[in-house]
Structure 1
Amino acid sequence: MTSTQLSGTESPLDALSDRWRSLREAGPVTYDAEQKQWRVVDHRGVSAVLADPATYSSDLTPIAPTQEDFEIFRQGNFVGMDPPKQRKLRTLVSQAFTPRVVHGLEPRIEAVCARLLDGVADRDRFDLVDTLAHPLPIIVIAELLGIPADDHRLFQEWAGTLFGGDQLGDDPDMADLERALEAIAPTVREMNGYVLDHIRHRRAHPGDDLTSRLLAAEVDGARLADEEIVGFVALLLVAGHITTTALLGNAVVAFDRHPGTLAALREDPGRLPDAVEEVLRWLPPFPELGRRTTRPVVLGGHEIPADTLLMAHLGAANRDPSRFTAPDVFDVARSPNPHLTFGHGIHFCFGAPLARLEARIALHLLLERFPIIAVPSHSDVTYQNPAVIVGVRHLPIAVTRQ
């Protein structure tokens, strides 16, 4: 499956909810013989796995297929690393990507949102993904990195290839992943070359941007090599924007499918932060995180050998009745909301503050501009392959203006 369209009132989102419920009902820790992987689905278990990188490694290279072009990207991709290297790289990046930097982007995010929506000022129907959800985070991140925002269509193409899942079915195995890696390798090669050229240009001509600050960041006299920066810049440019794209699309779909939600948020925009967190809990863009056991462990009463693939299932954990009241109810007033969508522990998503900020600003502007926002035909909504990312690929909406 490459993408999914709705049929009548059925939704892939309903299918996901059913699947996550089935996973929980099967038990907190189960083995999938067909996929040859263990799954952890309860909130407590997932949190424990993500908090213990010494036992559950993020480095899957010993057990997963690899490909030459991905090795360059992997050098600076600390999402797939363990301490101490992960800690060193994250510390270096933290010097450049500070909360102050993210907060300072707020006026620019507001301006980009306004300009993108001005582009459909004469239309009462448009695709939310093409108009706002895709270009907004790409433009913001590109400008943050000092990369020409005019190239945002290229970055969008890369993301579409890397996260579209066109080479995968609903439950890919290692052979499927290996074929997919080979298929997308040319895109990774192109992306690596583009980003490396940008880094070398910034090293020769530093500016007031995140890439230049990354080049200058230093810990114990050590700086990042160009190849290490490639992984982080590419991660932020491609994976970083796709999370916000999915979050915005998922929010509008979830609000539309729960009548009264948009009216309540319009009446009290101060509830938007809680609403964003509930969308993240309800529809995590990346609902599973892979880990490799570094030693034999006993988990949930099961003996799991070393070098075994274990999937920490955020989607199921986010609806764990032992952690959430009425977990299968979408409640934009839910607080506290200890969802695990952005991970937990040392690998907590670095871009979470930026994704949250972009989502809040974009949704606030949508509510401010349009008294009515509706999905006129759910059969026209096209979804991504949920085996790769939970989100919409196309979302036609109808609006009215003040």
Structure 2
Amino acid sequence: MTTIAQRTLPMFLDWLEEGRARGQVRFDDKQGTWQVYGHPEASEILSDSGVFSSDLSAVMPPQEDYESFQKGNFVRMDPPRHRKLRGLVSQAFTPRMVAGLEPRIAEVTHDLLDEVEGRARLDLIDALAYPLPVIVIAELLGIPTGDRPVFRRWADVLFDQNSIDPEESLETAGKRAMAKAAPTIREMNAYLLDHIRARAAHPGDDLTSTLLQVEVDGERLDEQEIVGFVGLLLLAGHITTTATLGNTIVSLDECPEAAEEIRRDPGLLPGAIEESIRYRTPFPRLVRMTTAPTRVGGVDLPAGAVIQLWVTAANRDPRIFDEPNRFDIRRRPNPHLSFGHGIHFCLGAPLARLEAKVALRILLERYGDITVAADEPVVHRNPWLMVSVNRLPLDVSIT
């Protein structure tokens, strides 16, 4: 029997299309949730934080181990608290600060590839896609980069829940996943609290020190709020870039003519990254809950309805995207929802895009040929939780 962990992206896409065929918005008796597959419907939901709440504590009360991370995780907050907390964080995590990281991203990329210089085969994830964003974010936060094996172990626990079954109730699956992750969450909390307290006692030139100082209307972030944001940035921030780098190389390997176009015209690279993010959506779903009776896509939803928005399906909605199952680096427009929409649009999206652009540009400049190895397996994550690869062996040749 094929296990959940062994199911492939094509199987996942088929499963989504089978759901879409039964309606862009429909109730799932097994999960006890409303499923949304369409792009206009998902956009409408993500645009209205008043009717569609991000706070799921009513159906999944936070466990004690998760309280620190929930307090600073504005992804799971509604206004007005979301607005204030995101505003505080945005004072420190600015577009200008992110743009200023480009030279360091390039330097780290070159250093990592120098370490595998001369090899005809390398694992992209181990060699570059994992360490690059972790080093950049750890340096940004003032956290020791030598601890990155610890961060990878945390990410593997939190983002590799292979036991998740798409036909199991969201509440049951969520509680089981939370129980499994609790020891890791406790370890993360203790580690990050120690780091934050050390920076409070001895401030440095890093984002953590800045977060301790930012202020709005006389209010500052407390320790637990900073733990939540730093933990979110450290884990979700690096794993998004890791996924994007791996997914883009896989997509270009499947579409070699696109890779050749980019080599001839590097100006096509940003569009290729956006198309990769659409075509292989890293985080396939978002969850919301209605605060009042409402109507979406011609379907009536009651108050308290739990909604699963399948972003992967929305990003392949044929009503919005021509030939949605084709990888097209020249796709215009490309209104994918992979980074969210509305007030919860991903704060780290500019950093993920910049890291991917710099790293892929250098890869294509350094190697005249990049192909996925035919005689070693590519190891995928569970696509119901995250579309990414854990292992990506490549055959490369020096330019």
* 1:393 is the counterpart of 2:394: no
Q: Is the 8 A contact 1:63 1:308 kept in 2?
A: no
* Aligned residue in 2 for 1:33: 29
Letter in 1 for 2:246: G
* Aligned residue in 1 for 2:146: 150
* 1:4 is the counterpart of 2:6: yes
Moved more, 75-84 or 372-381: 372-381
Q: Is the 8 A contact 2:30 2:167 kept in 1?
A: no
* 1:258 is the counterpart of 2:255: yes
Corresponding residue to 2:48 among 48, 52, 58: 52
Give secondary structure in 1 for the equivalent of 2:26. Answer: strand
* 1:22 is the counterpart of 2:18: yes
Q: Percent sequence identity over matched residues? A: 53
Q: What is the alpha-carbon distance in structure 2 between the residues aligned to residue 127 and residue 307 of structure 1?
A: 46
Deviation at 1:390, TM superposition (A): 0.7
Give secondary structure in 1 for the equivalent of 2:156. Answer: helix
Letter in 2 for 1:95: Q
Deviation at 1:356, TM superposition (A): 0.2
* Aligned residue in 2 for 1:104: 100
Q: What is the alpha-carbon distance in structure 1 between the residues aligned to residue 214 and residue 347 of structure 2?
A: 17
Give secondary structure in 1 for the equivalent of 2:96. Answer: helix
- The number of aligned residues is 396
Corresponding residue to 2:320 among 323, 342, 350: 323
* Aligned residue in 2 for 1:95: 91
Q: What is the alpha-carbon distance in structure 2 between the residues aligned to residue 331 and residue 75 of structure 1?
A: 40
* Aligned residue in 2 for 1:300: 297
Matches within 5 A, 1:179-328: 179-328=176-325
Q: What is the alpha-carbon distance in structure 1 between the residues aligned to residue 216 and residue 375 of structure 2?
A: 51
**Which stretches in structure 1 are left out of the alignment for 5+ residues?**
6-11
Q: Normalising by structure 1, report the TM-score.
A: 0.95
Give secondary structure in 2 for the equivalent of 1:122. Answer: coil
Deviation at 1:326, TM superposition (A): 1.9
**Which stretches in structure 2 are left out of the alignment for 5+ residues?**
none
Moved more, 212-221 or 375-384: 375-384
Q: What is the alpha-carbon distance in structure 2 between the residues aligned to residue 30 and residue 378 of structure 1?
A: 42
Give secondary structure in 2 for the equivalent of 1:372. Answer: strand
Q: Is the 8 A contact 1:278 1:337 kept in 2?
A: yes
* Aligned residue in 1 for 2:162: 166
* Aligned residue in 2 for 1:9: none
Matches within 5 A, 1:95-134: 95-134=91-130
Name the Cα RMSD after superposition: 1.4
Q: Is the 8 A contact 1:66 1:178 kept in 2?
A: no
Give secondary structure in 2 for the equivalent of 1:54. Answer: coil
Q: 1:59 to 1:378 in 2, by over 3 A?
A: farther
Corresponding residue to 2:374 among 364, 374, 377: 377
Deviation at 1:203, TM superposition (A): 0.8
Deviation at 1:378, TM superposition (A): 7.5
Deviations 1:201-250 (A, max 9, x none): 11111111111111111101110011111000000001111111111111
Q: Is the 8 A contact 2:376 2:393 kept in 1?
A: no
Corresponding residue to 1:63 among 59, 65, 82: 59
Q: What is the alpha-carbon distance in structure 1 between the residues aligned to residue 56 and residue 38 of structure 2?
A: 22
